[in-house]
Amino acid sequence: MKGLVTKSTGSWYLVRSEDGEYHDCRIKGKFRLKGIKSTNPVAVGDWVEFDVENSGSAAVIKEIYDRKNYIVRRSVNLSKRTHVIASNIDVAFLIVTASRPRTSTGFIDRFLVTAEAYKIPVVILFNKMDTYVDIEDRAEIMMLNDIYTNIGYTCIEISAKTGANISKVADLMHDKITMFAGHSGVGKSTLINAIEPGLNIKTSEVSNSHNKGQHTTTYAEMHELKLPGYIIDTPGIKGLGLVDMEPEEIGDYFPEIFKIKDQCKFNNCLHTNEPNCAVKDAVEADEIAASRYESYIGFLKDDDEGYRTDDWG
């Protein structure tokens, strides 16, 4: 029987069969030994083949169909392993806020590079627009909007609380499997509730002491929408590492760098200290945002511990 994994707790999985029935599933121990290097061999969004046992109380996943894409982070406890956050995503929405909590450009770029590497289209949502009374916050949103729109990303300014531009987001979700991502506290759950009020996703206020969100989602879960479509709700992402990327390929996942890299003098130019580098010239001419170039240089130096800093969580 074929089905779609809609929930994963690490040992048990909720799978929606093609006839619309939901089944609690598990995997056999030997299934974990088939060369799968991630800490979770089955992820939300996976299409799987499963058998219902005679008792009817449980089912066993016996095969995972090929994924068209997926998004990963490094394992929290095992730095050499990865954790698949979700798979088979049609659109990922990255939710960004200027304050309470602030989303750094480093985090935005880290997510975008990861999504580019795994061929996941991204839409950037600037949330909490109704709360930005400080000119600094509004200026930051305008700057970020300009940077990422010019690169080619779709950017939408929204307010999950007031409903501003929520219909635009819903239109992009129609008949698709989508994912919301971002720091804890940026309003993922509030936005899902605004689009589909009946889901009643748990929300939480931002901590006053640390100005960061409190985790209300502890595992990824897919929700069926009336649009129709599906939304994957993810935990606040901490430790979004660049996994299995060679230095020579990182620039390919920055669209504005990839576009002009063939104008560099050297074919293997890393855009650091090489002469006649078109990328460095573009940065000097403000044709590539300085923050994007800084992120690129930072990713070249990335190590197993760098992604653990609070900037990414």
Q: How confident is the model at residue 48 (pLDDT cuts 50, 70, 90)?
A: very high
Q: Strand pairing partners for 225?
A: 229
Phi and psi dihedrals of 151, rounded to 5? -70, -30
The percentage of residues in the chain with a pLDDT greater than 90, rounded to a whole number, is 63
**Residue 68 clears pLDDT 90, i.e. is over it:** yes
Q: How many domains does the chain have?
A: 3
- Tell me which of 34, 49, 66 is where a domain ends: 66
pLDDT bracket for residue 279 (50, 70, 90): very high
Where does the pLDDT of residue 127 fall: very low under 50, low under 70, confident under 90, or very high at 90 and above? very high
State residue 38's pLDDT score.
74
220 and 81 within one domain: yes
Average confidence score pLDDT of the chain: 85
Residue 148 lies in a domain: yes
pLDDT at 13: 93
Cα–Cα nearest to 204, from 188, 220, 224, 192: 188
pLDDT, one tens digit per residue, over 109-125 is: 999 998 999 899 999 99
Write the pLDDT tens digit of every residue in 141-199: 999 999 999 999 999 999 999 999 999 999 999 999 999 888 888 998 889 889 998 88
Q: Verify that 102 and 212 share a domain, yes or no.
A: yes
**Quick check: 210 pLDDT over 50?**
no
Residue whose pair of structure tokens reads 């949103």 in the numeric block: 141
Q: Tell me the average pLDDT across 52-65.
A: 82
Note whether residue 111 is domain-resident.
Answer: yes
Per-residue pLDDT band for 45 (boundaries 50, 70, 90) equals very high
pLDDT in tens, 229-250: 999 877 655 555 566 788 999 9
Which of 233, 256, 272 is at the close of a domain? 233
Q: Which two tokens stand for residue 136?
A: 């600094």
The closest alpha carbon to 60, from 68, 69, 70, 48, belongs to 48
Residue 229 domain-assigned (yes or no): yes
Q: What is the CATH number of the domain that holds 273?
A: 1.10.40.50
- 153 and 200 in a single domain? The answer is yes
Structural domain includes residue 120: yes
The reply to whether 211 falls in a domain is yes
Tell whether 149 is covered by a domain: yes
Q: Are residues 291 and 169 in the same domain?
A: no
- The answer to the question of residue 312 being in a domain is no
Residues 94 and 229 in one domain: yes
Confidence grade of residue 202 (pLDDT, cut at 50, 70, 90): low
Same domain, 55 and 96: no
Q: What is the number of alpha carbons within 13 Å of residue 64 lying toward its C-beta?
A: 22
Candidates 46, 6, 13; CA nearest to 27 is 13
Position 155 scores a pLDDT of 98
Q: What is the pLDDT of residue 209?
A: 39
CATH number at residue 112: 3.40.50.300
Whole-number pLDDT of residue 39? 75
Would you call 125 helix, strand, or coil by DSSP? strand
**Can you give the CATH number for the domain in which 60 is found?**
2.40.50.140
Q: How far apart are the first and last CA of the chain?
A: 38
* 7, 39, 244 from 27: Cα distances, Å: 14, 13, 26
Question: Are residues 273 and 125 located together in one domain of the fold?
Answer: no
91 & 170 share domain: yes
Specify whether 145 is located in the same domain as 227: yes
221 assigned to some structural domain? yes
Are 27 and 99 members of one domain? no
* pLDDT reported for residue 306: 41
The whole domain housing 10 covers 2-66
Among 66, 84, 118, which residue terminates a domain? Answer: 66
Q: What is the greatest pairwise CA distance in the chain?
A: 70
Give the H or E element holding residue 7. Answer: strand 2-8
Q: Are residues 75 and 124 in the same domain?
A: yes
- Residue 147 shares a structural domain with residue 226: yes
